C-alpha cells in the first residue's frame, strides 16, 4: 500500500480575534486536509461562526495567519480567497432570478457568457434545480432556496466550501434530507468543506473530523468516533451524545478503581493516576448501563420516571447518594416509577475525569 | 335553497352595496376638486367670475384661460421648463446624496456617527422661513442668486434630512448577509451598491424621489425671494402673478388653467414611481 501524501487545504495558525479589548478567539491552531469535511461544533457563543467568518474574510483577523492551499490569505478580500460560503439565512439576491443569482459571482469576475451558462447548467443539474432557473427566490420553498444558495457556492469552483449553519432554517424532515444531500455533494465534488453547526447529529453524520469549540478555544479535534468514544474532557463528553453521558461524582480509591455512590467501579487503568482519595468524575453513556435482572452485584438505584420511544426507553434513576443516572434500555422488563433496581455497566466503557474535567487515561 | 343560506345571500348583497357605496362616495370627494378645477379652466373669460357651481362652461368650451396663461411672463412653456429643471435636478441630487449618506450611516462605524445623524435630523426642527435671509445672503455671496441652480441647492438642502433618514432605514432593512454574500461573490464598493443594494432599497428611493419632486415643484416662498428676473420664475411664482387680473380682480380662469397645468407632471411622476412601492420585494432573500 502506498501512502498518498495529503495536502493541507486550510491552515489556521494561532488565530486570535478581539472585539475592542475583549478577546473572543484565543489562539486557534488547526490544519484541514484537502477534501476533508470538517465540522465546527459548540454551544452558542463559542466562536465557531466568528472563526468561519474569519476564514471567509468577512471578519478581520486580529492576530495569526490563515493559509488556504499554501497561500497566505489573512489580509485578502473574501472574493480572492478561493472560498464560497453558504449562509444560514441563504442570503439570496431577491431581485434576481435563480439563474442570475448563480451567475452573479461569475459575472463579477468577468467570466465569458458561454462558460457562465455551462457552469450554471452543471450546478443546477447537480442540485436538481434546473426547472427553477427563471424563478425568483421569493417563489421558492425553503429547501429550494437552500439549494440555490449551495448552487451559488458551487459555480465558483472554490477550493473550500464554508457552511454557516445552513440547515437551521429548515423544518426537521427537510433538514434530514438536505443533510444526506450535503453528504452526497461532498462525495461528488470532493472539495474541502468547513461546516458550522450547533446540532450534534449534523456534526456526527457529516464530519470526517469534528472540532469542538468552547469559549473561543478548541476542546478536542477528532473523528466522530474518537470524539464519542474517547472524549478529552467532561465538556466534550457531555456535549456529544443524546441523552448526555452520565457524569457522576466519585473518589479515586486505588489504581483503576473509582468509588461512586458506595460502589467500587473499575475504570481503564491510567498512566498518570491521580492521588488516592482525590475527587474524580466518573462517566458512562446511558447505552452502556443495563438493568441487572438478578439485582446482585449492581449499583442500587430508584426509578424516577421513564420515557418510552418505541425501540428504546430512557429510564431516569436516582442513586443512593442522590446523584442522577440515565439508562438507555432496550429490554422489555416491566419498570414502575419508584421501583428499586440494580444497574450494571458494560466493561471497558467507563471513563474517569480528574477534578478539572480532564480525562484520566 | 334553505332559509338560512337565503338570508346569508341577502346579507352579503347589502354588505356589498354598503362597501361599494362608501368607496364610491370617498372617491367622489377625492376626484371632485379635479373635475371642478379642470372644467372651470375651460370657461370663457366672460364666465370666469361666475360662482363655482355648476362648474362646467355654460356657453361652450374655450381656451381663453390657457391663452392668458401663455401670454403671461416668459410664456407658460418657459416657466414649466424652469420648474422641471429645478424639480428634477432636486430629485437627482437628493437621491444621490441621500443614498450614499444613508448607506454610510447604516453600514459603517465611525466616530460621532449617532451625534451626526441626530444633528442632521434635528435640522428638520428649524422652520426654513427663519433661515431664508441667511440663505439669500449666502447664495448672493456665491453668486447664485437669481439662478435656478442656486434654488435647486436650497431645495436639496431642505430635502436632505428627511431623505437621509429614509434611506438609512431602507439600508437598515437590507439583511447584512446579502451584502456579505455579494462581497464573497466579488462585488465591491460602487458595484456592490449599484448591482445588489440599490434594487433592494428602491422603495426608499422612490419615496424620496416623490417627496423631493413634489416639494420642489410646489415650493413658492424661496422661489419668490431668490428669483428676481421674470424669465427664471418657476410655476408657483407665475401662478401668483397670473392671479392678479385687471383692477385687483382675480382672474379665476387663468388660475384654474395654471393649476391644471401644474397637476400634470405630479401625476406623471407619481404614476411612474409608485410601482416601485411593490411590497414584499425583499421576500425570499433570507429565511
CATH of the domain at A233: 3.40.50.300
Domain boundary among A208, A238, A268: A238
Residues of A in Cβ contact (< 8 Å) with B190: none
CB A246 within 8 A of CB A288: no
Same domain, A265 and A205: no
Residue A2 belongs to a domain: no
Distance from C-alpha of B135 to C-alpha of B150, rounded to nearest angstrom: 10
Give, in order, the Cα–Cα distances in Å from A22 to each of A17, A25, A27, A58, A62.
9, 9, 14, 19, 11
Q: Do A159 and A21 share a domain, yes or no?
A: yes
Q: How confident is the model at residue A51 (pLDDT cuts 50, 70, 90)?
A: very high
Task: Check if the beta carbon of residue A23 is closer than 8 Å to that of residue A60.
Answer: no
CA distance B228 to B94: 25
* Whether residues A16 and A91 fall in one domain: yes
Considering only CA atoms, which of A306, A347, A310, A309 is closest in space to residue A325?
A: A306
Measured distance CA(B93)–CA(B150) in Å, rounded: 13
Give dist(CA A42, CA B265) in Å, integer: 60
Closest partner residue to A95 among B181, B188, B200, by Cβ? B200
Average pLDDT over residues A199-225: 94
Tally of domains within chain A: 2
Pairing type for strands A37-41 and A192-197 reads parallel
3-state helix, strand, coil in chain A (%, to 5): 25, 35, 40
Buried b (16+ CB within 10 A) or exposed e, B132-142: eeebbeebeee
3-state helix, strand, coil in chain B (%, to 5): 75, 0, 25
State whether A93 and B187 contact (CB < 8 Å): no
Please report, rounded to a whole number, the percentage of residues in chain A having pLDDT higher than 70: 96
Hey, what's the cell of B121? 435630523
Bridge partners (DSSP) of residue A10 are A32, A68
Q: Quick check: A135 contacting B, CB < 8 Å?
A: no
Test B188 with A79 for CB contact under 8 angstroms: yes
Residue A3 lies in a domain: no
User: CB B184 to CB A84 under 8 A?
Assistant: yes
* The predicted structure's pLDDT at residue A120: 94
Identity of the residue in A56, A89, A93 whose CB atom sits nearest the CB atom of B184 = A56
Q: What angle do CA B88, B92, B97 make, to 5 degrees?
A: 145
Cα–Cα distance measured from residue A106 to residue B235, given in angstroms and rounded to the nearest whole number = 50
How many CB atoms are closer than 10 A to CB A190? Answer: 10
**Chain B residues lying within 8 Å of A57, measured CB to CB:** 183-184
For A101, the domain range is 8-238
Same domain for A28 and A73, yes or no, is: yes
Q: How far apart are the C-alpha atoms of B212 and B93, rounded to whole Å?
A: 10
CB neighbourhood size of B165 (10 A): 19
- B177 touching A, CB under 8 A? yes
Q: Determine the Cα angle at B61 with ends B60 and B64, to 5°.
A: 120
Average pLDDT over residues A209-234: 94
Separation of alpha carbons B269 and B287, rounded Å: 34
pLDDT band at A331 (very low <50, low <70, confident <90, very high): confident
By three-state DSSP, how is residue B139 classified?
A: helix
Q: What average pLDDT does the segment A293-320 reach? A: 86
Taken in order B245, B246, B250, B252, the sign of the CA dihedral is: negative
pLDDT for residue B34 is more than 70: yes
The domain boundary residue, chosen from A187, A210, A238 = A238
Residue among A57, A87, A140 minimizing CB distance to B181:
A87
- Report residue B60's pLDDT band, with 50, 70 and 90 as the boundaries: confident
Determine the pLDDT at residue A119: 94
Contacts of A152 in chain B (CB under 8 A): 181, 185
Q: How far apart are CA B251 and CA A157, in angstroms?
A: 74
The CB density around residue A1, as the number of other CB atoms within 10 Å, is 3
Identify the bridge partners of residue A266 per DSSP, sorted by sequence position: A257
A 214-233 → B contacts, CB under 8 A: none
Kindly report the number of other CB atoms within 10 A of residue B18's CB atom. Answer: 10
Chain A residues closer than 8 Å to B181 by CB: 85, 87, 91-93, 152
pLDDT 10s digits, B152-201: 999 999 999 999 999 999 899 888 999 999 999 998 888 899 999 998 88
Distances (CA, A) of A357 to A27, A236, A248: 21, 10, 12
Q: Tell me, yes or no, if B278 comes closer than 8 A to chain A by beta carbon.
A: no
Q: Which chain A residue lies closest to B197 (C-alpha atoms)?
A: A93
Let me know if residue A30 belongs to a domain. Answer: yes
Distance of residue B191 Cα from the nearest chain A Cα, in angstroms: 9
Residue B239: CA count within 13 A, CB half-sphere: 21
Given an 8 Å threshold on Cβ–Cβ distance, is A145 in contact with B177?
no
Q: Edge-to-edge strand order for the sheet containing A340-345?
A: A289-291, A340-345, A299-308, A313-319, A324-329
Range with the largest mean pLDDT of A260-269, B19-28, B72-81? B19-28
Whether A90 and chain B come into contact, CB under 8 Å, resolves to: yes
Please give the span between the terminal C-alpha atoms of chain B, in angstroms, as a whole number.
48
Nearest Cα of chain A lies from the Cα of B164 at a distance, in angstroms, of 23
Are the Cβ atoms of B185 and A85 closer than 8 angstroms? Answer: no
User: A84 and A113: one domain?
Assistant: yes
Q: What's the CATH architecture for B66-277?
A: Orthogonal Bundle (1.10)
Whether residues A153 and A299 share a domain: the answer is no
**Structural domain ending residue among the three candidates A238, A267, A287:** A238
Query: Domain containing A345 — which CATH number?
Result: 2.40.50.140
Length of chain A: 361
Interface predicted TM-score (ipTM): 0.84
Residues 6+ apart with CB under 8 A from B162: B124, B208, B211
User: Does A93 sit within 8 Å of B285, measured CB to CB?
Assistant: yes
CB-CB: which of B177, B183, B191 is closest to A78? B183
B 135-174 near A (Cβ less than 8 A): none
> What pLDDT was estimated at residue A360?
83
User: A316-340 burial by CB neighbour count: b if 16+ within 10 A, else e?
Assistant: bbebeeebebbbbbeeeeebeeeee
Question: Does residue A1 form part of some domain?
Answer: no
Which pLDDT score, from 0 to 100, does residue B284 have?
46
Mean pLDDT of A157-184: 91
Q: Are A50 and A185 in the same domain?
A: yes
pLDDT in tens, A3-31: 444 577 899 999 999 998 899 999 999 99
What pLDDT is recorded for position A345? 84
Kindly give, in sequence order, each residue whose CB lies less than 8 Å from that of residue B37, ignoring residues fewer than 6 positions away: B256, B259, B260, B263
> Strands A37-41 and A209-214: what pairing?
parallel
Residues of B (195-214) whose Cβ lies below 8 Å from A: 195-196, 199-200
Q: Which residues in chain A are contacts of B199 at CB distance < 8 A?
A: 95
Which residues are CB-neighbours of B4 under 8 A, at least 6 positions away? Answer: none
pLDDT of B280 reads 40
Residue B243 reports pLDDT greater than 80: no
User: What is the pLDDT, as a whole number, of residue B283?
Assistant: 45
- Please give the helix or strand (H or E) that residue B197 lies within, else none: none
pLDDT at B76: 82
Q: Which residues of A touch B182 (CB under 8 A)?
A: 93, 104
Mark which residues 139-178 of A lie under 8 Å from B by CB.
139-140, 142, 145, 152, 156, 169
Nearest to B286 among A90, A108, A109 (CB): A90
Residue A358: the pLDDT is 86
Q: What is the pLDDT of residue A292?
A: 81
Biggest CA pair distance of chain B: 85
Domain ranges of chain B: 3-65, 66-277
Is the same domain home to A222 and A335? no
Same domain, A178 and A55: yes
∠ CA A253-A257-A263, rounded to 5°: 85
DSSP A99-150: HHHHHHHHHHTT--HHHHHHHHHHHHHHTT-GGGTTS-GGGS-HHHHHHHHH
Query: Are residue A287 and residue A147 in the same domain, yes or no?
Result: no
Is the pLDDT assigned to residue A162 strictly greater than 60? yes
Averaged pLDDT, A72-87 = 93
CB contact under 8 A, B177 and A83: no
Q: How far apart are CA A298 and CA A295, in angstroms?
A: 6
Task: pLDDT band for B101, please (50, 70, 90 cuts).
Answer: very high
Residues A202 and A77 reside in one and the same domain? yes
Rounded to an integer, what is the distance from CA A341 to the centroid of its chain? 35
Interface of A with B in 23-82 (CB under 8 A): 56-58, 77-79
Mean pLDDT check: name the lowest of A41-55, B3-17, B89-103: B3-17
Task: Label residue A1 by pLDDT band (50, 70, 90).
Answer: very low
Say if the Cβ atoms of A89 and B188 lie within 8 Å.
no
| Contact pairs from chain A to chain B, CB under 8 Å | 90
Amino acid at each position: 500500500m502506498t501512502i498518498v501524501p495529503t495536502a493541507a487545504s486550510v491552515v489556521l495558525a494561532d488565530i486570535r480575534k478581539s472585539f475592542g479589548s475583549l478577546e473572543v478567539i484565543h489562539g486557534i491552531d488547526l490544519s484541514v486536509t484537502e477534501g476533508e469535511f470538517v465540522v465546527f461544533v459548540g454551544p452558542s457563543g463559542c466562536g465557531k461562526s466568528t472563526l468561519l467568518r474569519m476564514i471567509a474574510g468577512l471578519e478581520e483577523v486580529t492576530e495569526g495567519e490563515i493559509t488556504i492551499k499554501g497561500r497566505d490569505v489573512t489580509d485578502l478580500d473574501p472574493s480572492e480567497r478561493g472560498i464560497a460560503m453558504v449562509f444560514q439565512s441563504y442570503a439570496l439576491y431577491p431581485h434576481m432570478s435563480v439563474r442570475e443569482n448563480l451567475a452573479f459571482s461569475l459575472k463579477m469576475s468577468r467570466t465569458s457568457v458561454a462558460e457562465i451558462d455551462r457552469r450554471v447548467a452543471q450546478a443546477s443539474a447537480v442540485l436538481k434545480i434546473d426547472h427553477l432557473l427563471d424563478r425568483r427566490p421569493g417563489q421558492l420553498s425553503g429547501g429550494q432556496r437552500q439549494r440555490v444558495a449551495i448552487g451559488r457556492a458551487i459555480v465558483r469552483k472554490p477550493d473550500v466550501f464554508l457552511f454557516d449553519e445552513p440547515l437551521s432554517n429548515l423544518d426537521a424532515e427537510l433538514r434530514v434530507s438536505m443533510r444526506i444531500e450535503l453528504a452526497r455533494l461532498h462525495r461528488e465534488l470532493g472539495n474541502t468543506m468547513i461546516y458550522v453547526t450547533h446540532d450534534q447529529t449534523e456534526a456526527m453524520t457529516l464530519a470526517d473530523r469534528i472540532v469542538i469549540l468552547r469559549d473561543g478555544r478548541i476542546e478536542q479535534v477528532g473523528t466522530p468516533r474518537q470524539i464519542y468514544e474517547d472524549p478529552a474532557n467532561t465538556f466534550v463528553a457531555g456535549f456529544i451524545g443524546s441523552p448526555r453521558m452520565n457524569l457522576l461524582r466519585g473518589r479515586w480509591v486505588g489504581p483503576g478503581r473509582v468509588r461512586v455512590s458506595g460502589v467500587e467501579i473499575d475504570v481503564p487503568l491510567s498512566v498518570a493516576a491521580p492521588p488516592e482519595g482525590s475527587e474524580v468524575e466518573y462517566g458512562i453513556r446511558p447505552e452502556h448501563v443495563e438493568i441487572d435482572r438478578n439485582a446482585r452485584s449492581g449499583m442500587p438505584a430508584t426509578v424516577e420516571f421513564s420515557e418510552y420511544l418505541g425501540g428504546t426507553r430512557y429510564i431516569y434513576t436516582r442513586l443512593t447518594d442522590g446523584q442522577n443516572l440515565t439508562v438507555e434500555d432496550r429490554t422489555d422488563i416491566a419498570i414502575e416509577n419508584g421501583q428499586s433496581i440494580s444497574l450494571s455497566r458494560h466493561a471497558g466503557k467507563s471513563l474517569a475525569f480528574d477534578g478539572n474535567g480532564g480525562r484520566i487515561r | 335553497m334553505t332559509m338560512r343560506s337565503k338570508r346569508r345571500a341577502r346579507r352579503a348583497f347589502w354588505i356589498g352595496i354598503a362597501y361599494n357605496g362608501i368607496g364610491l362616495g370617498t372617491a367622489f370627494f377625492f376626484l371632485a376638486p379635479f373635475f371642478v378645477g379642470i372644467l372651470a379652466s375651460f370657461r370663457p373669460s366672460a364666465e370666469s367670475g361666475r360662482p363655482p357651481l355648476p362648474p362646467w362652461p355654460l356657453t361652450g368650451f374655450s381656451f381663453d384661460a390657457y391663452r392668458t396663461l401663455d401670454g403671461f411672463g416668459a410664456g407658460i412653456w418657459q416657466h414649466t421648463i424652469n420648474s422641471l429643471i429645478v424639480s428634477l435636478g432636486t430629485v437627482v441630487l437628493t437621491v444621490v446624496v441621500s443614498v450614499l449618506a444613508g448607506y454610510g450611516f447604516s453600514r459603517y462605524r465611525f466616530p460621532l456617527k449617532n451625534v451626526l445623524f441626530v444633528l442632521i435630523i434635528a435640522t428638520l426642527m428649524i422652520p426654513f422661513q427663519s433661515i431664508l435671509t441667511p440663505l439669500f445672503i449666502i447664495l448672493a455671496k456665491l453668486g447664485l442668486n437669481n439662478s435656478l441652480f442656486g434654488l435647486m441647492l436650497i431645495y436639496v438642502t431642505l430635502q436632505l434630512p428627511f431623505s437621509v433618514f429614509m434611506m438609512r432605514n431602507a439600508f437598515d432593512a437590507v439583511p447584512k448577509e446579502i451584502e456579505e454574500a455579494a462581497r464573497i461573490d466579488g462585488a465591491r464598493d460602487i458595484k456592490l451598491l449599484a448591482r445588489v443594494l440599490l434594487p433592494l432599497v428602491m422603495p426608499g428611493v422612490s419615496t424620496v424621489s416623490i417627496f423631493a419632486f413634489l416639494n420642489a415643484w410646489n415650493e413658492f416662498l424661496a422661489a419668490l425671494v431668490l428669483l428676481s428676473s421674470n424669465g427664471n420664475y418657476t410655476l408657483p411664482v407665475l401662478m401668483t402673478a397670473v392671479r392678479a387680473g385687471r383692477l385687483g380682480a382675480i382672474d379665476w380662469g387663468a388660475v384654474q388653467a395654471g393649476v391644471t397645468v401644474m397637476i400634470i407632471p405630479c401625476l406623471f411622476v407619481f404614476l411612474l414611481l409608485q410601482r416601485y412601492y411593490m411590497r414584499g420585494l425583499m421576500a425570499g432573500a433570507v429565511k
